[in-house]
Amino acid sequence: MSAAPSRNAPCPCGSGKRYKDCHGALSSFAGPAVSTDVAAPQPPPSQVQDALLEARTAMSSGDMASAERHWRLALASDADDAEANFHIGNLHREHEDAPAAVACYERALGRAPGNASVLNNLGLALELAGERDRALGCYREVLAADGAQADALGNVANALFERNDLAQSAEAYAKLVAIRPALPAAVWVRRALVLQRMGQLAEAEGSLREAARAQPDDPRILANLGSICIEQGKHGDADEPLARVRELEPHNAYALSMLAHARAQRCAWSGIDELFDDIARLLDAPAVDGVAVAPMPLLAMPLAPLLLRKAAERWSRALALSAGATSRAMLPTADGDGRLRVAFVSSDFREHAVAVVISEMLERLDRDRLEVFAYGLLPADTGPAGRRIAAAVEHFADVSALPADAIARRMREDGIAVAFDLNGYTRNARPEVFALRPAPLQINSIGYPGTLGAPWYDYIHIDRFVAPEGSKHLYSERYLRMPHSYYASDTTRAPSGPPPSRAQCGLPEAAFVYCSFNNTFKILPAVFAAWMRILAPTPNAVLWLLDTSAEARANLGKEAQRRGVAPHRLIFAPRVDIASHMARHAAADLFLDTAPYGAHTTCNDALLAGLPVLTCVGESFASRVAGSQLHALGLPELVTRRIDDYEALAVALATTPGRLAKLRSRVAANRHDHALFDMEAYARALEDRVIEAWQRHLAEHRNKSHDSDHA
């Protein structure tokens, strides 16, 4: 659950536009209101009455200039006239002159106390002025007199959403839908945003479908609909609305990237290369209509790393428009015991890949050097993973119900010196918290394999392999460079006990088993074609993949057939618990990595389970993580740089059993004496680098203060 955005923040619908230019612009459920509802209780002087009559006539014919002129004539004779003040207030509000609008509405209320139209529009003007509590009071005053007043219900729902009071907002929308089912599309969209934030995704989708029925060719609504389908894993359902956006707005890079991502999830590759080309061209050009592209799906596309940085920077600039964003926090007061206060912030303190790799590292951090905090962005997980994270740190806080500014304030009050963002731009992230600078030093770490392109991230957590010499131009952050692989590991999850048989895994006993347990969106046509070329000269080999959906399974079978490989040679592994997943690696012979988004936790799983991993690295961070881990385990020969070398080595290892056996022995032995799985050394190295970064920050702060003193 996350806070509603400010009006200048990126719209939570994912369009990449500012909230006020997207769905925030649709927030005024109350229309211009009917002037006859705000007539003064006493007949006005004849000249005022005449002016109002002329204004009504002009307004009905659409001559707003004449209407305004007559309203102002009425006010010249009677400055407190309710009807004229109401309409002039509306004009001020349309021009975003909130103080003038508020003054007019308040004068109107002097003559027409309790008038629903005036109170509604006063509330809208107060919202424009940033006085949200007073605005909500106006709407509630209307509803106290008439609980079925639709305008007030809509405005209350909007106001509660912006206060992050999602349950009451949803309740107000439910009442509104009950009394007025034929709502404008904008209201259905706003209701969908509330339901989405509450995790009621199916209901949110239903609301968006109502909006689409009202406005079937609105690109924003269709993009929202496609996005909510993707969020539910209904990737096939996302295709139609997103493809329609492509027809309506071929320059909409956001919609194109989501369409490509949805098709990659299904391994539905028809036209996907053209989509990738269009996305690259749009990313390389100036932004059109302010639309930014969600950076995370781009990591799995064949895009130049500089384009990934450009997309991240564009996304962060939209975030930077949020009111209150700052470049530097105040230095926290030093704790009495002298320890550095460090925080880890994530939505993934649960059964998630990030929790899998960081748990042991957190447990091994030296509490004599660091005081460790964790802030959970989703409701606290009460399962084993969540309990373990909470026990691993000194201070755990569930901040899921708090808006961004309250989370940032809480972290400042806790005196956090260094904050690790373990989400970046992934699902359920709250990057707006970091834009508010809750800590003087902020680090992009582990959860997002690439630059975040934002000035409020000081460092990126890397190593020399994922970010080699000459790559600094690809990152907006400084390097917090680990001596070996930056990727942490939980060695306690290593398999124990007898492994399952091949028969239990649904595998042929005598086959050579290649496997790749990466998510299907990482399997692109080029890497799949390489796999098929690997299978061709090894007729006794099979490829063991993660079963993500029936559609992906069927599509991959068709693609194999098209490339001359029998579909039955693709075997799909169901999702199982971590212990069972770790144990079944023993049934495979060689893990084949994907490109350009390679294996991260899945590579770590395989190597910890004793299974060799073959990777082909590229230039992007996401393509180099498996290579980083292999170097840290002392197996650099499994890191290739060209796809034909990758294919040749995969075939050679399948056809020379002795060579592969030696590699497996080295994986098993090196797990105990190489850096990749030495979490004690990892924890010490991370502490050293964090403390060094903090000392550097203090020195820079002192130097800046000294320069200011002598300016």
The pLDDT tens digits for 431-472 are 999 999 999 999 999 999 999 999 999 999 999 999 999 999
Q: Would the pLDDT of 34 be above 70?
A: no
In our burial notation (b when 16+ CB lie closer than 10 A, e otherwise), range 367-387 reads eebbbbbbbbbbebbeeebbe
Residue with token string 């904008």:
186
Two tokens at 134?
A: 């007073």
Cα 397 from chain centroid? 21
Q: Which residue has the higher pLDDT, 707 or 40?
A: 707
SS3 315: helix
Distance of alpha carbon 629 from alpha carbon 484, whole angstroms: 8
**In the numeric block, which tokens belong to residue 255?**
């919609």
Residue 497: pLDDT band (50, 70, 90) is: confident
Contact predicate 394/370, CB 8 Å? no
| Percentage of the chain modeled with pLDDT above 70 | 90
Distances (CA, A) of 416 to 46, 372, 395: 68, 9, 12
Strand runs labelled E in 467-533: 478-482, 512-516
Q: Which of 134, 112, 110 is nearest to 124 (CA)?
A: 134
Per DSSP, the residues of 545-566 read EE---HHHHHHHHHHHHHTT--
CA distance 585 to 185: 50
User: Can you tell me the mean pLDDT for 10-14?
Assistant: 44
Distance CA 688, CA 329 (A): 22
What is the pLDDT at residue 452?
Answer: 97
Question: How would residue 357 be classed by pLDDT, with cut points 50, 70 and 90?
Answer: very high
Structure tokens at 421: 């963002």
Closest CA to 262 of 221, 217, 289, 300: 300
Quote the pLDDT of residue 401: 87
Among the listed ranges 141-145, 216-220, 235-239, 706-710, which one has the minimum average pLDDT value? 706-710
Cα–Cα distance, 693 to 687 (Å, whole number)? 10
CA distance 670 to 663: 10
pTM of the model: 0.86
pLDDT of residue 11 exceeding 60: no
The residue written with tokens 């320059």 in the block is 251
Q: How far apart are CA 120 and CA 89, in angstroms?
A: 12
Question: What's the pLDDT band for 320 if we cut at 50, 70, 90?
Answer: confident
Q: CB of 369 within 8 A of CB of 691?
A: yes
Expressed in angstroms, the distance from the first to the final Cα of the chain is 46
Q: Identify the helix (H) or strand (E) that includes residue 682.
A: helix 679-709
Report the candidate in 180, 131, 167 with the shortest Cα–Cα distance to residue 30: 180
Q: Which helix (H) or strand (E) holds 681?
A: helix 679-709
* Choice among 31-35, 77-81, 163-167, 630-634 with the minimum mean pLDDT: 31-35
What is the arrangement of strands in the sheet containing 370-376, beginning at the earlier edge strand?
395-398, 370-376, 340-346, 418-421, 441-444, 459-463, 478-482
**Position 366 pLDDT exceeds 60:** yes
Compute the average pLDDT of residues 283-306.
Answer: 87
- Extract the tokens encoding 662: 């030696």
3-class secondary structure, 449: coil
For residue 706, what pLDDT band results from cuts at 50, 70 and 90?
low
Q: How far is Cα 51 from Cα 580, in angstroms, rounded to an integer?
A: 81
Q: In what order do the strands lie in the sheet with 570-573?
A: 570-573, 541-546, 512-516, 590-592, 613-616, 639-640
Check pLDDT > 90 for residue 100.
yes
219/335: higher pLDDT: 219
| pLDDT-based confidence at residue 46 (cuts at 50, 70, 90) | confident
pLDDT at 197: 86
- Tell me the H-state helices in 272-322: 272-284, 295-298, 305-320
- The conformation of residue 10, written as its DSSP 8-state character, comes to B
Cβ neighbors of 334 (< 8 A, separation 6 or more) are: none
Q: How confident is the model at residue 292 (pLDDT cuts 50, 70, 90)?
A: confident
Of 158-172, 320-334, 616-630, 665-679, least confident by mean pLDDT is 320-334
Local structure of residue 1 (DSSP, 8 states) = -
Residues for the chain: how many in total?
Answer: 711
User: H/E/C letters for each residue in 337-355?
Assistant: CCCEEEEEEECCCCCCHHH
Instruction: Specify the pLDDT at position 286.
Output: 80
User: For the segment 409-434, what is each residue's pLDDT rounded down to a tens digit?
Assistant: 999 999 999 999 999 999 999 999 99
Q: Torsion over CA of 552, 554, 557 and 558, rounded to 10 degrees?
A: -110
Count helices and strands (H / E) in the chain.
28, 13
d(CA 433, CA 397): 15
Among residues 414, 380, 420, the alpha carbon closest in space to that of 400 is found at 380
CA distances to 108, 632, 663, 681 from 450, in Å: 55, 20, 30, 24
Q: What mean pLDDT is reported for the chain?
A: 90
Instruction: Say how far apart CA 208 and CA 224 lie, in whole Å.
Output: 7
- Which of 456, 345, 315, 430 is closest to 5 using CA atoms? 430
Alpha-carbon gap, residue 562 to 557, rounded angstroms: 9
Helix 46-60 and helix 64-77, axial crossing angle in degrees, nearest 10: 170
